[in-house]
Chains A and B, each alone.
Chain A
């Protein structure tokens, strides 16, 4: 069953803790993306990667970090430096660049108190 998996679906953390969100795909896609979604804000790009061991900052990268050690995996770490980390985080992948459709995972809803 091909697709993108994100785990967990819900995540709760205390303020000041780093937390890593998982994203795995078995679609053999080269490109992977992380978005943050807040009510009324649409999708805001955090980081993206088009090849293993390479990634670029998106529009709101501050307070986040990523790695791309394997083609299938693109984990996102929300650090304690992120001022408002509570949000819905979506991972996506595509066969290439913006000329191709993106496939989204089910998302992780992170709550930091």
Chain B
């Protein structure tokens, strides 16, 4: 299974954009890039996913490098409620059970 590498933690100021990086140099052609986040004392929640093209939704944007070996989750205007652990995960749709392999994620700290 392809693995991802993320910084352990990042800090950002409230109301500023946040760029969370993820490296996945061994990504395969059938791997989708997924992002989840986990707020304190809660289960993870889905944020966004993509394959090759950049993706936008109401929560965030996902920018995928042309070679697909890295991606960046963009929170356009961080609030205190965005303080969470963010997980970048590859999901292989070529496998029948396409399970997610979770790393330790990036802890995002938002400063007021």
Partners in one complex: no
| B binding-site residues for A, Cβ under 8 Å | none
